[in-house]
Structure 1
Amino acid sequence: MALLLVLISITAIFLAYKLYQRLRFKLPPGPHPWPIVGNLYDIKPVRFRCFAEWSQAYGPIISVWFGSTLNVIVSNSELAKEALKEKDQQLADRHRSRSAAKFSRDGKDLIWADYGPHYVKVRKVCTLELFSPKRLEALRPIREDEVTAMVESIFKDVTNPENLGKSILLKKYLGAVAFNNITRLAFGKRFMNSEGVIDEQGLEFKAIVANGLKLGASLAMAEHIPWLRWMFPLEEEAFAKHGARRDRLTRAIMEEHTLAREKSGGAKQHFVDALLTLQDKYDLSEDTIIGLLWDMITAGMDTTAISVEWAMAELIKNPRVQQKVQAELDHVIGLDRVMSESDFSNLPYLQSVAKEALRLHPPTPLMLPHRANANVKIGGYDIPKGSNVHVNVWAVARDPAVWKDPEEFRPERFLEEDVDMKGHDFRLLPFGAGRRVCPGAQLGINLVTSMLGHLLHHFNWAPPEGVNPEDLDMSENPGLVSYMRTPLQAIPTSRLPASLYKRMAVDI
């Protein structure tokens, strides 16, 4: 009886709060929420598709209730511009779940920090120091080394007599590039050798990443229903152990770099060296340094591999495009050398292929929530302080009002019109826009373009035997990032002299 009374009281409070919100504010339309849970049980697993469907029924700005929290979903470029540019300052805070608060030390990093002096400071560090053109160029040999290592690995496997004519799981090779690249950029460490074997420190690193994902997903429902959180208590001990484990590994690597710097008398270009060197200049705490390093790992570990896998699936489905980009590569690069990032400016169609893949398949299709730090209006509707605003990047990039044949994979559209994708053109937002635009956008673009260029220059790609290109599964797995539901299997055939399939093997 007591429990029933509690539930009735909670329901009454929720309904009263909803009525108060409706009377005081003109909220965007949306599906009718249930008491306590809001729309949580109505949302389909692939959220960005679900929200796009609801936008067709209710309009380009909708209200969706995650428990008692109002979430506003924006699905066209005009409203995205209003939210991310015109009302950017009022929407620059970040909603932090209990797990995100624990991982970020209550926003001492960049991704989960609210807008304010700390955010401005660490953003400046990222923009001026870590992702400056000079540093990105200095770290280019690492990226090219890892991409050529991928090519060598694929060539070894497909030329093995036991594997001739067989398909490969492309995700395996793309994941190795992403893993080695981000650990080398952030930590100056290559945990995985040329045979794909990960050393002890690398195994610990991967275990920490996997445990972090597990902890972050364990409280998803409870985060949205404050009245029920007592039933799902935060596992303080588990989060404390995870944080200590992560810090222990990171501090050990930081100490290695400090000793190496003292011994050599100079710092290298890796992010850990840069942050330690800049610690006094920018008054960076150890928590912030660790948080920034793990922000880079979180943001860069999977996104490039996801983007390239989707692009390759589209290229296999569209052999005309594959042949056209290979013709450009052969004309500019030839058949007697490998591609370099310095060739990008002479490869406009390759760049258009990368851009078109990011349009159709943004790795984070639903932008991380922007929390309103004040009452604000978007599209004539009220967004109360404390609400979350999400831009459905996937829906914006497929809007038939601004894109001709939006579902078609047609890179030529970017030769016909120059469209920026680093936050200045609100029709295409794979890296966000405004104050919270991804500072590593150029790094991501460079790596995706390089991986695609090498894969297409070195190999022809076909679907597995017995599979028609048009039958490839192009659906997504549920989650924050858009993995392919069915990982891509493909048959590569080498097209260059064998001597061009060797890894560059640089160490910087």
Structure 2
Amino acid sequence: MALPLLILALTFASILLARHLFQKLRFKLPPGPRPWPIVGNLYDIKPVRFRCFSEWSQAYGPIISVWFGSTLNVIVSNSELAKEVLKENDQQLADRHRSRSAAKFSREGKDLIWADYGPHYVKVRKVCTLELFSPKRLEALRPIREDEVTAMVESVFKDCASPDNLGKSLLVKKYLGAVAFNNITRLAFGKRFVNSEGLMDEQGQEFKAIVSNGLKLGASLAMAEHIPWLRWLFPLEEEAFAKHGARRDRLTRAIMEEHTLARQKSGGAKQHFVDALLTLQEQYDLSEDTIIGLLWDMITAGMDTTAITVEWAMAELIKNPGVQEKAQEELDRVIGCERVLTESDFSNLPYLQSVAKEALRLHPPTPLMLPHRANANVKVGGYDIPKGSNVHVNVWAVARDSAVWENPTEFRPERFLEVDVDMKGHDFRLLPFGAGRRVCPGAQLGINLVTSMLGHLLHHFSWAPPSGLKPEEIDMAENPGLVTYMRTALQAVPTPRLPTHLYKRVAVDM
């Protein structure tokens, strides 16, 4: 048995080596670290990939080749090359690489996130831009966002004012995660699975279990995705994926049916995404797979990224107490101490907006974005990008480029008061939401929620590190992964700043 496997492995190695040599002779590929046979550079890549690729770009240049097994991945790390990828060659680089798990979850790209560029993508993108994330709908759903943020404030206040917790630190992500979870489930499904006592109903428990199981399945085949012969040794667990898909669909269909019956009773639809999609289904010829896929795209994209960004921002604000005080001075001057912040106040709070923008610059939640796949041979930076290659924009490195940003590692929101920099895809120096055909359609929703969460946390509380820990000792390292969680979850001590009656949530039923 060992001899046939050895022969098979050597055969694959020879094929991959021949293919690699052929590409090197035919194309002028970007420079990069020398790949090993079969595995490419997989064993050379450090766990926090965006930092590793940034280090390699210092040695090889701002555009590099990295081999994931037999697949060429091109990483660009400055704004000029990002513009070439996301604007000048946008259409040729607008497809998606789908792992086997992503292909299963998305029904081979019937959603938005994992769809290749083409008629289907253009259609669902139009639905998102014109219908789901239109200014009118975002404004109509504003009470939900503000309700969840004030619920977070009330929860922090109750815990820090408890006699057992006076002067003690709290786990910040616990409160941020609750806002993100409740907000996205209410926006997408019109459901608040958690009651005022913090208890989750049966549907909510099922929802959490589905999310957790999806993450587990998605991470189960990482190495096998990049080395073809390993797929024979580690086949896709078809039954596990089928059960997961059926479970997800069953819950989603049950919620869709609830909304259909509610519309029939009331004679009209609410603003939630599920209502919007069901109402627009016939007009846009949306399949049930696409509706379910879009709803779960919203959940996947919105569940963690907002909480991650705000946790990093709070860590920076505690590390930089002068910035925290300046933001609070602006809030006190504009809002005062007799009412709470609303989203309509944002235009009068330029420093708060700059704090949010600076947090997204230094800590983009998806630092490598999702890979763009070449659907044709193109040139970027004078190098060839063969059809079928994956292209990553290291937005973390772009936003820390010392050729563009003065003191790039310093948390200094003032830089955005001095120079107006767009962060929704029009300025390639700052790309937390991507750019071009695949820019995040929910960018404004994310910006609004991040700004609101930060504003309320700073207006209602002063924040300090745990007892015995100096601000500069806060661990600012990242956990490995597609999104940038803090390696050490932030602990902080909140001190209330406003009259007690302003910490009470007034529930909104939408």
**The one of 439, 442, 445 aligned to 1:437:** 439
Pairwise CA RMSD: 0.5
Verify the 8 A CA contact 2:147 2:505 in the aligned structure 1. yes
Q: How far is 1:333 from its partner?
A: 0.1
Q: Which residue of 2 aligns with 1:245?
A: 247
Offset at residue 194 of structure 1 (A): 2.0
- In structure 2, C-alpha distance between the alignment counterparts of 1:140 and 1:22, rounded to whole Å: 53
Q: How far is the alpha carbon of 1:11 from its aligned partner? A: 1.7
- In 1: Cα distance, 2:504 partner to 2:25 partner: 68
Distance apart, 1:12 and its partner CA: 1.5
Q: 2:494 — aligned with what?
A: 492
Conserved 8 A contact 2:460-2:497: yes
CA distance in 2, matches of 1:11, 1:109: 35
Q: Match of 2:72?
A: 70
The separation in 1 between residues aligned to 2:394 and 2:506, in whole angstroms, is 40
Q: 2:129 aligns with which of 123, 127, 130?
A: 127
SS at match of 2:225: helix
Do the aligned residues in 2 keep the contact of 1:60 with 1:76 (CA within 8 Å)?
yes
Report deviation, 1:201.
0.4
Pick from 435, 455, 458: which aligns with 2:457? 455
Check if 1:329 corresponds to 2:344.
no
Q: Is the 8 A contact 1:144 1:504 kept in 2?
A: no
Other-structure match for 1:28: 30
Aligned partners of 1:376 and 1:382 also within 8 Å: yes
Amino acid at match of 1:270: H
1:90 deviates by 0.1
User: In the alignment, what sits opposite 1:360?
Assistant: 362
Map 1:221-240 → 2, pairs under 5 A: 221-240=223-242
Shift of 1:313: 0.1
Conserved 8 A contact 1:170-1:488: yes
| Contact 2:9 2:229 (8 Å CA) reproduced | no
In the other structure, the counterpart of 1:306 is 308
- Between the aligned partners of 2:433 and 2:412, the Cα distance in structure 1 is 21
> Does the CA-based 8 Å contact 1:92-1:114 persist in structure 2?
yes
CA distance in 2, matches of 1:445, 1:504: 23
- 1:6 Cα offset (Å): 1.9
What is the TM-score with the length of structure 1 in the denominator? 1.00
Q: Distance in 2 between matches of 1:196 and 1:372?
A: 46
In structure 2, how many angstroms separate the alpha carbons of the residues matched to 1:463 and 1:152? 21
Matched residues in 2 for 1:167 and 1:297: separation? 30
> What are the equivalent positions in structure 2 for 1:56-95 lying under 5 Å apart?
56-95=58-97
Give the letter for the 1:241 counterpart. Answer: K
User: 1:491 aligns to what SS in structure 2?
Assistant: strand
Q: Percent identity?
A: 87
TM superposition shift of 1:225: 0.7
Partners of 2:12 and 2:375 in 1: how far apart? Answer: 26
Post-superposition offset of 1:227:
2.2
Hey, what's the Cα distance between the residues in 1 that align with 2:12 and 2:111? 35
**For residue 169 of structure 1, what is the aligned residue in structure 2?**
171
CA distance in 2 between partners of 1:254 and 1:117 (Å): 26
1:379-394, aligned counterparts within 5 Å?
379-394=381-396
Q: What SS does the aligned partner of 2:494 have?
A: strand
Equivalence for 1:183: 185
Contact 2:76 2:82 in 1 (8 A): yes
- The residue correspondences of 1:254-403 to structure 2 (distance < 5 A) are 254-403=256-405
How many residues end up aligned between the 2 structures? 508
**8 A Cα contact 1:464 1:490, kept in partner:** yes
Distance 1:244 1:252 in 2: 12
Q: Which structure 1 segments of 5+ residues have no match?
A: none
**Counterpart AA for 1:290:** I
What secondary structure, in the 3-state scheme, does the structure 2 residue paired with 1:162 have?
coil
* C-alpha separation in 2, matches of 1:13 and 1:365: 33
